[in-house]
Structure 1
């Protein structure tokens, strides 16, 4: 008897779930329902200056296995590429400082490594960590670091790194979810500096020695949804775009998914359903079938952001002397980071030597007013900030592109894990996956999709 499974949502989590379901030996019929006209979610390529380039996520964490394993399964592991040797920087007090080595989400393993980026007084405070009593329960990353190492470490080291991942604020983000190693130290009453020192050798010895931290695909990470779509078709998975899921209800031992425009809703029955959409639409779908989970998901906030991509004529100018920079919120700038893409990714420079590409990101949690500007205004703001940081050596762009990601990144507020406990207690044949649960990075989302697929199959 053929088992039918619907995957609602065609971002990377839903694609990974559909891929796992399609690889099952046995009678499983899989349908992927995506409400928009394209697959991939935050993985996206757009043409800028005649070149297709990533305007969403551009890399994966290579020290987690899920993405690289998927590349291998899809037969594109020969396209895996890594950043070049140029390092990144942090802007502090109006100038760029080399990104300190050996930090754990901004917590340095050696206080001396951040002297200059931090003042002498701030380094002195950092060097004399105030451990205090063990912490009970969850705590924000910023609150923990403030108390242990001083506010300057949070403001100038932790904030820019966390903002790059979550577009959020360190003093609101859950330590348990974002940096579990620091949370464990807080619960056990151990020094954070000790944890950072123990973590630092991981990249220079043991199983991770010599392995790059990040990876992408030649041609851009945005090619991954295209590869997956072809692979799913070969595996017999039905992929339907423009199929907005509007309702979900029980039907005996199975499920009915309602899709389509409100004037022409179509009901389809499935034996199992994987819901792979952001928290708000997932909450709406679950309100009748899993009300406690729906309430929990309704409380997850999201940050909006925009990626401004610039194309310059010719090779990288000397001022682009690294892979990019991060900006702490203490700086009087609007952008929160810039990536010098043609410097960071050697494949891009080799494929397009006549162009230099770079991008800037704008927007943090609850700072949507920053994005309430036209594309032209966002480009102008990004250029002004780049000139402030880099000086006059940046030539004017020959092409620009603005990609807005409204509600793009879930915020893991303090208590996130316990608050979402109801999402792990669902009726048989129903599973959730995506960035809202256990990690916002691409490997974490792939892992979430794989786990959801296995869950509905096992039940």
Structure 2
């Protein structure tokens, strides 16, 4: 008799878990329960000026294999496409400076590469890195860089890059979790600049060196959940949106999952459960079945953000001379970044040559005030900030879209890995996955989902239950 598995959460982590289970060869029946009205989580397409365009995550890191492998398995590898070979920039002291090449999360391998973006005194402080012994404990990325290279490196290089990944603050984010190569340097008592130089050299000569760093799919990364939906349905996986899970309870060797409105609760029994939901709902569901894990997850904070997409009439303007720019928090701007989508992604420009798309992001951890504006106000702020950086020649958009991601990005605070240790000790038949644990990028989430599925299958097999 087939074992039944519930995957709670239909973002990319949950869909990856379901995909792994469906391909395992084991005799399993998989049901995905998604609380919202759609699958895909932070992968989302919306119509902006008559064009479906990404309003969430738009690319994957190719140096991690998980997303590219999934593209192959789904039969969409031929649709893989890469950014145009144009550089990005960083806004510093009101001007745009080319993004330095050869950095590790903003830590330069060559101090001269950041001269101009940093002033002479700040470059001199960077060059005079002093290593004062070894650091055995976790600390924030910003505190480590401040001490070693000076606060200007943190403020103008590290902060904008980390904000792009976590929408957080460098002086609060765990170096062990976010930039392990710098954490290793701290433990070994080595210079950060030396380690950055070695890491850059290794990446340039490694097996992935010939690949562009990022990739997406023609049509947008938001097409990935649509492809997964079709393939999972073909594989017999039941996909149920609008199914809010209210309770998880032990039932002998299995689990009872309760969904639906309080006036008509549906209780279903499953042999195994994968929880692919954010920390807060996961904590609530674990409260009675894994209280230590629930408590650990209850303390995990999230950042909210918004992505404002603008459509301009006509071909790409000359001022959009790169893939976009990042904004350090030291600058008097509300937006933290902008992507010139029609420049960055040739497939988009080729498909829509008479329309130019760009987007801006707003919101950092504990800076919700910047989001307490109407959609129209956020568009006005984004356009004003873009003109402050690019000049007043930027025309009025002909179409706009505001996508709010409330509680969208988990914050890996100092000690994150240790704090979440209880989540790795769970009752049999239960597994967790998602951005809360070991990486917020799409490849990391895919890896997390597939690992959770394998853990369930392995645990059941080793316990003496033959699957398949």
TM-score, normalised by the number of residues in structure 1: 0.99
Distance (whole Å) between structure 1 residues aligned to residue 437 and residue 331 of structure 2: 31
Partner SS, residue 392 of structure 1: coil
Q: Is the Cα–Cα contact under 8 Å of residues 308 and 360 in structure 1 kept in the other structure?
A: yes
After TM superposition, give the deviation of residue 133 of structure 1 in Å: 1.5
Query: How do 1:227-376 residues align onto structure 2 when only pairs under 5 Å count?
Result: 227-376=227-376
Partner SS, residue 357 of structure 1: strand
Instruction: Determine the structure 1 residue equivalent to 2:70.
Output: 70
Instruction: Determine the structure 2 residue equivalent to 1:177.
Output: 177
Aligned pairs, number: 459
After TM superposition, give the deviation of residue 208 of structure 1 in Å: 2.1
After TM superposition, give the deviation of residue 203 of structure 1 in Å: 3.8
Q: Is 1:415 the counterpart of 2:415 in the alignment?
A: yes
Distance (whole Å) between structure 2 residues aligned to residue 49 and residue 101 of structure 1: 35
Distance (whole Å) between structure 2 residues aligned to residue 310 and residue 148 of structure 1: 40
Q: Is 1:51 the counterpart of 2:22 in the alignment?
A: no
After TM superposition, give the deviation of residue 211 of structure 1 in Å: 0.9
Instruction: Determine the structure 1 residue equivalent to 2:378.
Output: 378
Instruction: Determine the structure 1 residue equivalent to 2:201.
Output: 201
Q: Which runs of 4+ in 1 moved over 6 A?
A: none
Q: Is 1:133 the counterpart of 2:142 in the alignment?
A: no
Distance (whole Å) between structure 2 residues aligned to residue 450 and residue 32 of structure 1: 14
Q: Is 1:220 the counterpart of 2:209 in the alignment?
A: no
Instruction: Determine the structure 1 residue equivalent to 2:463.
Output: none
After TM superposition, give the deviation of residue 420 of structure 1 in Å: 0.0
- Deviation by residue 1:25-69 (Cα, 9 ceiling, x = unmatched): 131100000001100000000000000000000000011000000
Distance (whole Å) between structure 2 residues aligned to residue 81 and residue 202 of structure 1: 24
Q: Is 1:96 the counterpart of 2:96 in the alignment?
A: yes
Q: Is the Cα–Cα contact under 8 Å of residues 317 and 393 in structure 1 kept in the other structure?
A: no
- Deviation by residue 1:179-230 (Cα, 9 ceiling, x = unmatched): 0000011011011001100011234323122111000000000000000000
After TM superposition, give the deviation of residue 330 of structure 1 in Å: 0.2
Distance (whole Å) between structure 1 residues aligned to residue 178 and residue 256 of structure 2: 36
Distance (whole Å) between structure 2 residues aligned to residue 188 and residue 26 of structure 1: 44
Q: Which runs of 5+ in 2 are unaligned?
A: 460-468
Instruction: Determine the structure 2 residue equivalent to 1:443.
Output: 443
Query: How do 1:92-171 residues align onto structure 2 when only pairs under 5 Å count?
Result: 92-171=92-171
Distance (whole Å) between structure 1 residues aligned to residue 381 and residue 27 of structure 2: 55
Q: Is the Cα–Cα contact under 8 Å of residues 203 and 211 in structure 1 kept in the other structure?
A: no
Distance (whole Å) between structure 2 residues aligned to residue 209 and residue 221 of structure 1: 23
Q: Is the Cα–Cα contact under 8 Å of residues 432 and 452 in structure 1 kept in the other structure?
A: yes
Tell me the C-alpha RMSD between the 2 structures: 0.6
